[in-house]
Chains A and B, each alone.
Chain A
């Protein structure tokens, strides 16, 4: 079924289908709506087995993404 949605939310849907286990975000335009969409899916359980981590900088976002990846988790960030 086709659906008309915002581009950033379409990205979030596509990312969720990749089953990430860790998502870290330091949101700022233009990626805010991507991680908002993902955060909502983690909260409602639509995206299960995934930890959403708010971080305090771009540097921290990449640190978390690399750390999670090194530990064997599939990690995503839009930051």
Chain B
């Protein structure tokens, strides 16, 4: 496997940093090398936040921010109007957006059309988090969706990473949200 680089976009308080960390642990559990770190911006609720995750079969020596990602995970679709989220995304890259709307309804058809069919999905991660966790923190659900969309990590590894970071009820609720998102996207993929 060549190195796979994921960039997470969100806002302070949405668990963007944790999402990248959990994904790195999930990959590590599968015997891969992985790293995760945030970009240091203003640390306050609501501010745009970026975090990064690299996954490879061999040791990762890179330490710099990801400028040419293989995948984007967008935790807040309002960011498309604020910053250039797509910057550097590879033509065969993946795009996962937290929204109950479709790509067309988000007015992203042009940008998404440049990517491969089946590489672009939306998932209502905030709604799933509210239903299963009771808080609007969409990161766990998005990781479940990411596993279904890319097949890069197993849902089982994501679930283990979540349980390790959040033992007890909170972890189980987030695993439920991740599983729900996974099934939602896995079914859509199978139908398409």
Contacts and interface: CB of A to CB of B under 8 A. Distances in A.
A4 B55 CA distance: 13
Interface string B25-37: 1001000001000
Contacts of A6: 21
A14 B34 CA distance: 20
Interface in B22-52: 24-25, 28, 34
Nearest to A5: B25
A2 B24 CA distance: 14
Contacts of A4: 24-25, 28, 34
Contacts of B21: 6
Nearest to A6: B21
A2 B28 CA distance: 9
Contacts of B24: 4
Nearest to A7: B37
Contacts of B28: 2, 4
The 3 closest A-B pairs by CB, nearest first: A4-B28, A4-B25, A4-B24
Interface of B: 21, 24-25, 28, 34
Interface of A: 2, 4, 6
